[in-house]
Amino acid sequence: MDQLPDWDFPSDQSNTSSFTLPLLSPPSSPPPPEKISVVTHIENIITSLTTTLAQTPSTSSLSIPLHSRRQQTTYFSPRTSSILPLPNTHPSHFTSTTFPRNPRQFTCILTLLSILHAHHSSTSTPLPPLLTKRQIYYHNPTLFRSQRNIDYLLDSLAATFRLTRRDLDICAAGKGLVYGEVYIDGAYFGGEGGGGLIPPSFSPESVTLAAGVRSVLLVEKETIFRALNSLRSGIVQKGLVMLCGKGYPDLNTRRLLLLLWKEKSVERVATLVDFDPDGVEIAATYKFGSTLLAHERVAVRGVDVVGVLSQDLISLITATAGGGGGSGVVVTTLTSRDRKKALELLARPWMPAAPSWKVEIQRMLFWGIKCEVEVFYSSTCFAGWVLGKVGKAVA
């Protein structure tokens, strides 16, 4: 995994002794920041629980603190241009699950820890495959109650250990789509096959890009992906790989994008999103990372929005206005939810790092309109339009 320089904060080391659980005991030799294995982390928790029990048997209150994932526990780092978790120095950054008060959640965490411990300490060869979150849920559906609960706890555990979901050997069912001259785990995603779901278990070694691939086209919606995933569209010929996160992207899609950008030959990531506040936020999720998964550190600085931009609308509006109006509603008015979301975005900490996005959102608000990519889909040559946009951005 990528080791960003500010992975370990110096303040992490000073405060751990005063804290009940030595979850963050720093590695003995700081220069190579070697991660504590998952097994050690889990055993640390169990040890501290038993110690508490042994020392104060009368107060039969046990608690497991998990790092909370909120805006207050993250910050925007302009240097790395990404959202990062704050150092775990303050107890208020943790939410504790206490035994007598919250028995079900406490049991859930212990069960998860035991599943993870068993998985990580197995010595079989070959190594056991990745656990999916769904598999874990089916260990005990009556206890876990909902998949959502499990997802939340697993990501919180990863944040507490300062590891990624991948380090825990866990993956989610794939949602993202990929198309282009790329091989992942031996499967080919180009040609007339139309691409497919990103396999959840890829590793840096198992992803191979064709020689000519220099940029990635990121699309927001599956419909746009389907419109472009054939040889006729010219995506492949232009040396593009297309990724689609189906709305807000899952971790897997973002990890693949980071891998392509950081370790493969990809230089630019051209993003095609709707001209609405959600479109901007989706692009921001790729570019700066998200608050909830700040500990995963998947932010791709190279993400660049190529459409739909406000200047694309100018011709659209003037054209429809000239063409006798009223015929086709191409732009829609903002709802109050959109306006609220746009105002939230304007106040985001990463906004100063993307001044052109700020202008786009302000125009959106002032014009009072939004526009979907599909509007351009009806125009004669959609693929040509997209490629023109990407070409302009890359050149």
Partner 1 sequence: MTTPLLSVARLGLLHSIRSFLPIIPLPALAIPTAIHLNIPNLLPDIWESILRAVPKKKQSHSRKRMRQLAGKALPDITALNKCPACGKIKRQNMLCEPSHPSDIFAIAVNPAYAISAGGDSSIQVWSLHEPDHPLVHKFENTHPLGVHHLATNREGGFAASAGFDGTVNIWNLESLSLVKQIAKGRSSGEVWAIALSPTGNFMAATTYNGRVCVYDIFGTGEKVREYETKGSFGMSVDISADGRLVASGHENGGVYIFNNDTGKIHHSLPGLIKTVRSVAFSPGGRLLAAAGDSNIIALYDVISGEQVGNLSGHSSWIFSISWSKTGEYILSGAFDGKVKVWSTDTKTCVATHTENDKALYGVKWIPKSSGIGEGFLTAGANGRICFYREATGS
| Nearer residue to partner 1 within complex by CB, 70 or 337 | 337
| The binder of partner 1 chosen from 321, 327, 378, 380 (CB under 8 A) | 321
314 in contact with partner 1 (CB under 8 A): yes
Output the CA–CA distances (angstroms, integers) from residue 225 to 3, 115, 217, 240, 382, in the order listed: 33, 37, 10, 13, 12
Read off the tokens for 12: 């992490």
79 in contact with partner 1 (CB under 8 A): no
Q: How many CB atoms lie within 10 A of CB 208?
A: 13
317 in contact with partner 1 (CB under 8 A): yes
322 in contact with partner 1 (CB under 8 A): yes
* Nearest-approach distance from CB 255 to partner 1, in angstroms: 33
Residue whose structure tokens are 């590695």: 27
* Nearest-approach distance from CB 319 to partner 1, in angstroms: 9
Q: Out of 75, 137, 138, 286, which one is annotated catalytic? A: 138
Cα–Cα distance measured from residue 16 to residue 374, given in angstroms and rounded to the nearest whole number: 53
* Nearest-approach distance from CB 286 to partner 1, in angstroms: 23
| Nearer residue to partner 1 within complex by CB, 154 or 313 | 313
Read off the tokens for 53: 């029990």
Torsion, CA 352, CA 358, CA 359, CA 360, rounded to 10:
150
Read off the tokens for 82: 């990404």
| Nearer residue to partner 1 within complex by CB, 46 or 331 | 331
339 in contact with partner 1 (CB under 8 A): yes
| Nearer residue to partner 1 within complex by CB, 114 or 335 | 335
Encoded one letter per residue, x for contact with partner 1 by CB under 8 A and - for no contact, window 350-389 reads -----x--xx--xx-xx-x---------------------
Cα–Cα distance measured from residue 392 to residue 395, given in angstroms and rounded to the nearest whole number: 5
| Nearer residue to partner 1 within complex by CB, 131 or 334 | 334
| Nearer residue to partner 1 within complex by CB, 258 or 345 | 345
* Nearest-approach distance from CB 341 to partner 1, in angstroms: 11
Q: How many residues bind partner 1 (CB under 8 A)?
A: 23
| Nearer residue to partner 1 within complex by CB, 75 or 367 | 367
* Nearest-approach distance from CB 344 to partner 1, in angstroms: 9
324 in contact with partner 1 (CB under 8 A): no
Q: Are 87 and 162 in contact (CB under 8 A)?
A: no
| The binder of partner 1 chosen from 28, 186, 325, 378 (CB under 8 A) | 325
**Sign of the C-alpha dihedral, residues 72, 78, 81, 85?**
negative
57 in contact with partner 1 (CB under 8 A): no
Tell me, yes or no, if 75 is annotated catalytic: no
Catalytic positions, please?
A: 138
Residues of this chain that interact with partner 1 (CB under 8 A) are 314, 317-318, 321-322, 325-326, 333-334, 336, 339-340, 343, 346-347, 355, 358-359, 362-363, 365-366, 368
